[in-house]
Amino acid sequence: MAGILFIISAPSGSGKSTLVTQLRTLVEGLDFSISYTTRAPRGSEEHAREYYFTTRAEFERMIAAGEFLEWAEVFGNYYGTAVSALLHAKDLGKDLLLDIDVQGALQVMKKMPEAVSIFILPPSPQILEMRLRNRSAAENMTSEAIIEKRLNAAKHELKQVFDYRYALVNDVLDKAVAEMRAIVLYERGTGDDLRELAQACRTDTHTTALASVLTAFGEN
Ligand code: ADP
Ligand code: 5GP
């Protein structure tokens, strides 16, 4: 493809959508892949804006037809990235950003090792729980079972952080956005002055910020 493929993953509620939305206002030339999903729309979500909402039967037809670059079952629903999203970004000469879960990210890393992977961590399990609760309250959809399930999944997903090239902790939103912007511009070769900020997020340097989050989740 013409541009760079950015893979972004984070446990649900970490603030990935918030970060990506801000990033796209600051960085030009980033195409956002709209995934297919079998889950129902949430809050103000619209078909073909946040997701292509589809049925399990149609999703399974697409799997069989080889129409997905990757797909996975997350929280009981299918999610997948269509191969056509890559082709579309290539046609536009843009970089492509995939917001996908850890299972899907590992599939893409295997197929496209040059992809730039970024993992977003919540600061602690307590803050993650608070964000999950605030979001579901705002959407009038609080369910203890769902919150519990997402917190457990977060712990599991964090184990994969070192498979990613970069990781950043979404504590202060502006700081996390600045780090994400630095990574994108540095990887494009247009952000030499941002090198230090981007490099500090590399997982192979294993920052103290990363270590303290993993400890808070009981992973160290
Ligand atoms: P995700 O896309 O990772 O599931 P969201 O972007 O929906 O998460 O964020 C979950 C909740 O946390 C939202 O209510 C959002 O406003 C809030 N949030 C996101 N980032 C921050 C931050 N840095 N500080 C405080 N709240 C945040
Ligand atoms: P949500 O239902 O909260 O929008 O997303 C739940 C999870 O599914 C998130 O971790 C999100 O990154 C992931 N997801 C969204 N689209 C895709 C996709 O196309 N493929 C995969 N593998 N995961 C996705």
Atom of ligand 2 at shortest distance to CA of 104? 22
Within 32-121, residue ranges assigned H as helices are 56-64, 83-92, 102-111
Question: What are the structural domains, with CATH classification, of the chain?
Answer: 5-32+95-216 (3.40.50.300)
Quick one: which of 29, 34, 17 has its CA closest to 176?
Answer: 17
Q: State the Cα–Cα distance between residues 67 and 78, nearest whole angstrom.
A: 14
Q: 99 alpha carbon to ligand 1 midpoint, in Å? A: 14
Output the pTM of the full model. 0.94
Instruction: Tell me the pLDDT tens digit for each residue of 149-175.
Output: 889 999 999 999 999 999 999 999 999
User: Which ligand approaches the C-alpha of residue 13 most closely?
Assistant: 1
User: Which ligand approaches the C-alpha of residue 177 most closely?
Assistant: 1
- Which two three-digit tokens encode residue 134? 């605030």
Rounded to 5°, the CA angle 97-79-49 comes to: 55
Q: Is the CB of 136 under 6 A from ligand 2?
A: no
Q: 69 alpha carbon to ligand 1 midpoint, in Å? A: 27
CA-nearest residue, atom 19 of ligand 2: 80
User: Which ligand approaches the C-alpha of residue 42 most closely?
Assistant: 2
**Per-residue confidence in pLDDT tens, the chain, 220 aa:** 458 999 999 998 999 989 999 999 999 999 999 999 999 998 889 999 999 999 999 999 999 999 999 999 998 999 999 999 999 888 988 999 999 999 999 999 999 999 999 999 999 999 999 999 998 887 766 688 888 988 999 999 999 999 999 999 999 999 999 999 999 999 999 978 999 999 999 999 867 889 999 999 987 6
Q: State the Cα–Cα distance between residues 154 and 159, nearest whole angstrom.
A: 9
